[in-house]
A and B are shown apart, each in its own frame.
Chain A
Amino acid sequence: MDIVDTFFNLAVLRDSLPLLLMGLGTTLGLGLTSIALGLLGGLAIALARLYGPRPLTWLAVAYIDLFRAIPILVLLIITYYALPFVGIRLSPFAAATTALSMVSASYAAEIFRAGIQAVPRGQFEASQALGFRSWWMMIDIILPQAVRIVIPPLTSNCINVMKDTALASVVAMPDLLKQATQAQALAANPTPLIGAAAIYILLLLPLVRAVGTLENHLAKGRR
């Protein structure tokens, strides 16, 4: 009975639920914004990396390597606690979005690049032979195929961004985890933490499952 009262205390859970749901709202806002920015940035970086003039490809490579090497937590603390020293003061939301989407963009860039390179050369040649300029060739012909190829890794990356939003609680972002720790302190009971964990899992498990199914599906299609 003690364990139930301590970790699965329904009364505590009920009281903390409004707080947790507010936190969920923040987490979703942060996660979805970072995912969108990360995808757009990643696509731009991938195109620069593949087709940009020489200096731009170097910059893209440097960016991709750098932001895949830096721990998100370190980047987050730099954007929030270090940038003010040079006069750049970001809100917790802006700091967290910046850190998350910069890292997400570096991974997305590599994923998009792999997808574009997996589109058969004949597709490029057919588009060019018809007279498509590079811009329309990318939009109409290449990217729709490339994105389809990389939907599983792209979704995995989105899941990672969603999970990494929890790091934002260290910059006083009232996200799901932060609200849960606050509710825990208030109630002197860890049930809200368990509740938060359950919400993260409910949110992400379907996506994780979908990636698995898609990967199996694609693997079968290729055979």
Chain B
Amino acid sequence: MKPILDIRGVSKFYGSFQALDRIDLTVAEGEVVVVVGPSGSGKSTLIRCVNLLERYDTGDIHVDGIRVETGRNLAAVRSEVGMVFQNFNLFPHMTVLRNVALPPMRLRGLSREAAEARARHLLDRVGIGAQADKHPAQLSGGQQQRVAIARALAMEPKVLLFDEPTSALDPEMVGEVLDVVQSLARTGVTMIVVTHEMGFARRVADRVIFMEAGRILEEATPDAFFTAPREERTRAFLHSVLNH
């Protein structure tokens, strides 16, 4: 299959601290990659380099053949890469509908009618259609995160990045968000999901990646990863998260 995302030898330093250490990762079109690992291992840093919310110091990242770098192309590349944040980051001064409709209006040249039609369709798809005219603050965390997913989808991105999309949610809302992410995975959207939800990883991932200290330590299918991890560090990590 055709690679949609290609990360080659990427390193990232914060001062003298190395947050990413020569990362190589290729993601095929339609693939769902789940990234797990202990806190501080560089998971967020890695996916934030993909849309250049963090700069990387060495190596190359290509999205659909276009290099991710500062300059004239950056905004265009970014609009091909959707991101869903831990804290939703919805625009609080706009209605839910406008949150989803505005980006394709501004950035894809859609008419207001077309953008709002697309937004309503997507809001229905994530189960928020009835709340379209409310403001984000009037929604629960789970609902807000589903709106954030709809907002990212409205740009029809080639790759969707999730940075712990359920970590800021009350436990009873985790399921509704993971269900939406899982249904997206089935429709063939390319996704990289950073999460601590191991059950989700096992159900939804095509490939699981284990990061530690800025490196990819292990990479496997979910079955292999959860039943027969190769690395001692991976076993220790799984032991700690699955038994807590």
- Seen from chain A, the residues whose Cβ lies within 8 Å of a Cβ on chain B are 120, 122-123, 125-126, 128-133, 136, 140-141, 144-145, 148
Contacts and interface: CB of A to CB of B under 8 A. Distances in A.
A14 to B, nearest CB: 49
A65 to B, nearest CB: 32
Contacts of A130: 78-79, 82, 103, 107, 151-152, 155
10 contacts: A122-B85, A126-B83, A126-B90, A128-B51, A130-B103, A131-B75, A131-B77, A132-B75, A140-B102, A145-B92
Interface in B186-210: none
Given A136-B106, A140-B102, A131 B79 contact: yes
Interface of B: 51, 53, 75-83, 85, 87, 89-93, 102-103, 106-107, 151-152, 155
Q: Secondary structure of the B side of the interface?
A: mixed
A110 B90 CA distance: 27
Q: Secondary structure of the A side of the interface?
A: helix
Given A129-B82, A131-B103, 12 more contacts: A122-B89, A126-B89, A128-B51, A128-B78, A129-B51, A129-B83, A130-B79, A130-B107, A130-B152, A131-B79, A132-B107, A145-B93
B53 A131 contact: no
B78 A129 contact: yes
A129 B53 contact: yes
A157 B25 CA distance: 54
A132 B78 CA distance: 9
Given A132-B103, A136-B106, A141 B85 contact: no
Nearest to B83: A129
A132 B91 contact: no
Nearest to B108: A131
Nearest to B92: A145
Contacts of A148: 93
A140 to B, nearest CB: 6
Contacts of B83: 126, 129
A216 to B, nearest CB: 20
Nearest to A134: B75
B76 A131 contact: yes
